[in-house]
Chains A and B, each alone.
Chain A
Amino acid sequence: MSSVPLALGFDTSAAHCAAVLLRGGAVLAHRFEELARGQAERLMPLLQEVLAEGGAEWGDLAVLGVGVGPGNFTGIRISVSAARGLALGLGIPAVGVSTLEAMALDASRSVLCSVDARRGMYYVQLFNSGRQSVPALCSFKDIPWPNPRAEVAVMGHNARELADVTGGPVLHPVHPLAEAIARRALRRMHNVTLQRPAPLYLRPADAAPPRQAPPAILP
């Protein structure tokens, strides 16, 4: 077995199943399948295919990288749950990587990344040469632009529209999503404060207290 660690990265945070097998910096296998339904049925067979294509087995893996969103809640949970089960079963770390930081990985300049949050909203995060803002859910008018805006490039959902605000360029991610996730995982696998991957929802659960209060109860 090579001493270069093997990483498996995967993501189902939107209408796709994506997976990459990396050995160090080299991509051994990559799959991206557009899939609006049936991710839960497809994900594990897809991962097995990626491993087989790369000539690897589950036991060869040193680390898992998993997309934690923001994105589709159910899709995020499908991958995160699988990653936690795999990590426990294999006895290796699973690293949660956000969609936003995966997009920004290895970008050549400051960039604002955006993901479609539906209902006219955006999930955004600003990556500014090493420093980064907190990921946020916001409307178009509340996007936390840096000052001055012109410095910043944009990437992701409605990038063209956002670029019209800044006058800056539209960039594309350097790596495909699953590959960026696997690369992040390799870089972070020895981090001593590593937590189990957890979904990054950014939007609270849709729940309201009951409409009608019960009557007064007296002794």
Chain B
Amino acid sequence: MAGTTTILGLESSCDDTAAAVVRLKGDAAPEILSSIVAGQTALHADFGGVVPEIAARAHTEKLDHCVETALGEAGIALRDIDAIAVTAGPGLIGGVLAGVMCAKGLAAATAKPLIGVNHLAGHALTPRLTDGLGFPYLMLLVSGGHCQFLIVHGPQDFTRLGGTIDDAPGEAFDKTARLLGLPQPGGPAVEAEAARGDPKRFALPRPLLDRPGCDLSFSGLKTALLRARDAQVAEKGWLTVQDRADLCASFQAAVAEVLAEKSRRAIGAYIALSPSEPAFSVAGGVAANQAIRAALQTVAAEAGARFAAPPPGLCTDNAAMIAWAGLERFRLGDTDGMDLAARPRWPLDRASQPMLGGGKKGAKA
């Protein structure tokens, strides 16, 4: 496709306020002209997790600054942008609303098209931005709020092979950090501890490994970790630094093993479709964990599939992926009106039977 397309992306669905500019020029590889991520870790530190109201307040007063910085670093003005893409869900609704309204304001003011992007599609399409993957490829989306295997057939065409029936692994990492007195977000803290620990010391369960299919569960693993911790505390009244490192290593090993085995099965189901260039990719915050990446890479290599993991900064929440997903939609001629709604829940695969959540809010996945 000839011509140049430049998209501004905004992201505010959890605790990162982000803006980015992505450009696609002819048949060349897409370029991230800028990607600004303003985190809120310090704001939530006292509360042991992300507080939605605190997050929404921060997004409201940071987003326009992030946009200015992103434009500045890209060295372009708003008039050079072809369209404005924004996360319209799923996520913490207060933050999503702040992003959607800021984007609407920018779009109305500049008479540029507005594109509401599914945050999960942003993660799922990232390997096309970073590694130029062709459709269809297999995706493991694994973060603090989500865990699912998707076959990505097109920018808006996803088939879910399986997913978590309860918690997401990122949430389990955060909980582990809280139980062991480590800082939030738990992922990097637990990973750092695990590097010094013995993964075999505590026998933690591998939930659902004994059942066929690609569904996962992490709720029981959290409970098992709590029990293992409490057994140590009951024995001597405290934990040693080594106990903590061993608990982290054992926990991380359990998560990695479960994800690897379920990935093996998902790759099997995907390869059965005979893709011309089989590829397996991973994204989401948990994909930034090096031990988990290594385990998944091994599984892909064994199955003869190319493994594409975006760099950690593009696995965690960012706006470049939103700009890119918006760019893919824009090239299909697909844009939204000023009545674009922010959605707390928005499953990618709407054809499959809902497996998580329901009621008034609708299905989560």
Residues of chain A lying within 8 A (CB to CB) of residue B61: 196, 198-199
One digit per residue, 1 when the CB lies within 8 angstroms of any chain B CB and 0 when it does not, for chain A 35-76 equals: 000101111110110000000001000000000000001100
Known contacts: A45-B339, A81-B101. The answer to whether A89 contacts B78 by CB under 8 A is: yes
Residues of chain B lying within 8 A (CB to CB) of residue A42: 339
Residues of chain A lying within 8 A (CB to CB) of residue B119: none
A88 with B68: CB separation less than 8 A: yes
Residues of chain A lying within 8 A (CB to CB) of residue B78: 88-89
Q: Say which one of B147-155, B174-182, B205-213, B217-225 lies at the interface with A.
A: B174-182
Residues of chain B lying within 8 A (CB to CB) of residue A44: 104-105, 108, 338-339
A82 with B47: CB separation less than 8 A: no
A90 with B98: CB separation less than 8 A: no
Q: Interface of chain A, helix or strand or loop or mixed?
A: helix
Any A CB within 8 A of the CB of B36: no
Number of interface residues of A (CB under 8 A): 43
How long is the Cα–Cα vector from A185 to B129 in the complex, in angstroms? 43
B179 with A214: CB separation less than 8 A: yes
Any B CB within 8 A of the CB of A210: yes
Any B CB within 8 A of the CB of A78: yes
A217 with B106: CB separation less than 8 A: no
A45 to chain B minimum Cβ distance, whole angstroms, is 5
Known contacts: A77-B97, A214-B180. The answer to whether A84 contacts B340 by CB under 8 A is: no
B240 with A218: CB separation less than 8 A: yes
A7 to chain B minimum Cβ distance, whole angstroms, is 15
A89 with B105: CB separation less than 8 A: yes
Q: Interface of chain B, helix or strand or loop or mixed?
A: helix
How long is the Cα–Cα vector from A94 to B272 in the complex, in angstroms? 57
B240 with A217: CB separation less than 8 A: yes
Across the two chains, which residue of chain B brings its CB closest to A90? Answer: B109
How long is the Cα–Cα vector from A217 to B110 in the complex, in angstroms? 56
Across the two chains, which residue of chain B brings its CB closest to A51? Answer: B108
How long is the Cα–Cα vector from A134 to B338 in the complex, in angstroms? 37
Any A CB within 8 A of the CB of B342: yes
How long is the Cα–Cα vector from A42 to B340 in the complex, in angstroms? 9
Q: Say which one of A119-127, A152-160, A201-209 lies at the interface with B.
A: A201-209
Any A CB within 8 A of the CB of B128: no
Q: Which one of A78, A79, A80, A85 has the greatest number of beta carbons of chain B within 10 Å?
A: A85
One digit per residue, 1 when the CB lies within 8 angstroms of any chain A CB and 0 when it does not, for chain B 203-241 equals: 000000000000000000000000001000100011111
Could you tell me which A residues sit within 8 Å of B by CB distance? 38, 40-45, 47-48, 58, 73-74, 77-90, 196, 198-199, 201, 205-210, 213-219
Closest 6 CB pairs of A and B: A85-B105, A89-B109, A214-B181, A210-B48, A81-B101, A86-B105
11 contacts between A and B (CB under 8 A): A44-B339, A58-B109, A77-B60, A78-B101, A81-B63, A88-B106, A89-B105, A198-B60, A198-B61, A218-B239, A218-B240
